[in-house]
A and B are shown apart, each in its own frame.
Chain A
Amino acid sequence: MIRFENVSKRYEGGHEALRNVSLHIQRRELAFLTGHSGAGKSTLLKLIALIERPTRGQVLVDGRNIGRLPDRQVPGHRRRIGMVFQDHKLLEDRSVFENMALPLVIGGVGNREISRRVRAALDQVGLLDKEKKTPRTLSTGEQQRVGIARAIVTRPGLLIADEPTGNLDPELSLEIMQLFRRLNEVGVTMLIATHDLELVERIGGRRIVLTDGQTAGSS
């Protein structure tokens, strides 16, 4: 599903965030990307979402070399993957329903189908009764669950998450990770960046460790 071949990323100003990284994540796999902050976890995810482009090497998603994808095909690529962010990136001036509908509207889905899919996704994260609320009125854990629901509402085959539990206490973090586990069980390939090793131990799954922009090991 995801394949990195000798990928390096050097930012303008010379900072080398990734050095010669090669890795392979199978379809339907649940993989955790760990390492200290600054180790290159976020950069690796940004390359997959084409928020950044690799300096050297090849990034393949679903067999396509996306490093060379022309700009106008970037939106289509992003629509095929789900993204979860540490700060959830929900729009404060819109209801939960409207936030969830946004990726579907962008994807050109019809209104009736939108309501159906939004409710199905909210049901999966256990927030069916919150669709009319605004994100601000929800708890932090609930906000993150809405963020996850928004990422899966388009039914992507791949979901990437950057420190999804970074702002949550241990109990809520576990709850979120269990949610990811369940989603993985229904067939979504997952790559989750986190520095919470203890949590990864409890959930179980493959660990890819990044140190100073290099893969230090995989278990």
Chain B
Amino acid sequence: MKNYLLRHLQNFFGSLGSMSRQPVSTAMTVAVIGIALALPSALHIMVRNGTAVSGGWEHIRNFSVYLVPGTSLDYAQRLAGEIQQQQPVQSVTVISAEQAFEELQNSAGFGDVMNTLEDNPLPHTLVVQPTADAPPAALRQMEAELLTQKEVDLVKLDTDWVNRLNAGLDLVQRLVWIAAVLLIGAVIVITGNTIRLDIQNRRAEIEVSKLLGATDAFVRRPFLYIGFWYGLFGSCFALVLLGAGFLLLNGPAERLSSLYGGAFHLMGMDRSTAMAVFGGGLLAGLGGAWSAVARHLADIQPRV
């Protein structure tokens, strides 16, 4: 038993040695596996960031009710009170025409334009914030009801594009899965092919071992370990690539974010993605080795 474990250990590191004797081809295989694993992971992280950003834009579900210019502020406040009573509404804010005018005057670039105006052309506005779980249908019904009032000029409901963005992100997430499956398939093929070549190079050794009474498991073992190492190193390289990508994007992302008032921060690798990269890499490496070994070792029978 002790000998058996010792042999395994020797095989384990011995296979590392046989890989290091062909550094260029080993490095190339590792690089290809790393890139293949990094691509879907990078896409996945992008989608995660996108979801976080669109989640932060929940307030965009707010809608604005513009009253016909000249409507009294009294009416605006009364209407606000009525809307407040309705089921899917969390709060209603009244922005009077004067407040809006002042705000525009103070914001960059508009000050001079506003000063040239004699009258305030702006209407009173109600900003309605629905509850978080308000169904879109209920909001559309409210919109329709408000529009029947003759004092209401325009209702601007801004949920459509957020919904579209979310649907788009769902689609991209699905694409990530497809890409992940395809690229893990590619890793299996790459490892399988590399190990097939390795088996061919060590044909004499395999033949002699079989003549000397080596079991299939004995002959198979070093190649499975090589597959394991390829998977491990490929995963590590993928993580390095993802880390480097994060560092490259983080600076510009922070600058962009600061222009929007620091609304979001770039998220890097989370633990479950890292585990998936490792798990996928190791499984694909072993799977590739297994497929090569299953197909090619049986072909090598001793010829005397």
Contacts and interface: CB of A to CB of B under 8 A. Distances in A.
B211 A89 contact: yes
A110 B213 contact: no
A5 to B, nearest CB: 24
A204 interface: no
B7 A85 contact: no
A35 B274 CA distance: 68
Nearest to A45: B304
Given A91-B205, A102-B208, A108-B7, A46 B304 contact: yes
A85 B214 CA distance: 17
A75 B215 contact: yes
Interface string B200-215: 0000110111111111
Interface stretch (A13-21, A76-84, A123-131, A183-191): A76-84
A42 B7 CA distance: 34
Determine the main DSSP class of B at the interface with A: helix
A60 B209 CA distance: 24
B212 A103 contact: yes
A110 B205 contact: no
B3 interface: yes
A105 interface: yes
B244 to A, nearest CB: 38
A103 B208 CA distance: 9
Contacts of A162: 304
A90 B301 CA distance: 16
Nearest to A150: B212
A109 interface: yes
Interface string A58-82: 0000000000000010011111100
A106 B209 contact: yes
A108 B3 contact: yes
- Of residues B209, B213, B214, B215, which shows the largest number of chain A Cβ atoms within 10 Å of its Cβ? B213
B2 interface: yes
B208 to A, nearest CB: 5
Interface in A73-124: 75-80, 83, 85, 89-92, 102-103, 105-111
A78 B209 CA distance: 10
A106 B218 contact: yes
Given A75-B215, A79-B213, A105 B7 contact: yes
Contact of B4 (A72, A89, A108, A150): A108
A85 B302 CA distance: 12
Given A46-B304, A108-B7, A91 B204 contact: yes
Contacts of A90: 208
Interface string B290-304: 000000000001101
Interface of B: 2-4, 6-7, 204-205, 207-216, 218, 301-302, 304
Interface of A: 42, 46, 49, 51, 72, 75-80, 83, 85, 89-92, 102-103, 105-111, 150, 162
Question: Closest 9 CB pairs between A and B?
Answer: A79-B213, A78-B213, A103-B212, A75-B215, A75-B213, A106-B214, A110-B3, A89-B208, A108-B3
Given A51-B211, A103-B212, A105-B7, 8 more contacts: A49-B211, A51-B302, A75-B210, A75-B213, A75-B214, A78-B211, A85-B304, A108-B3
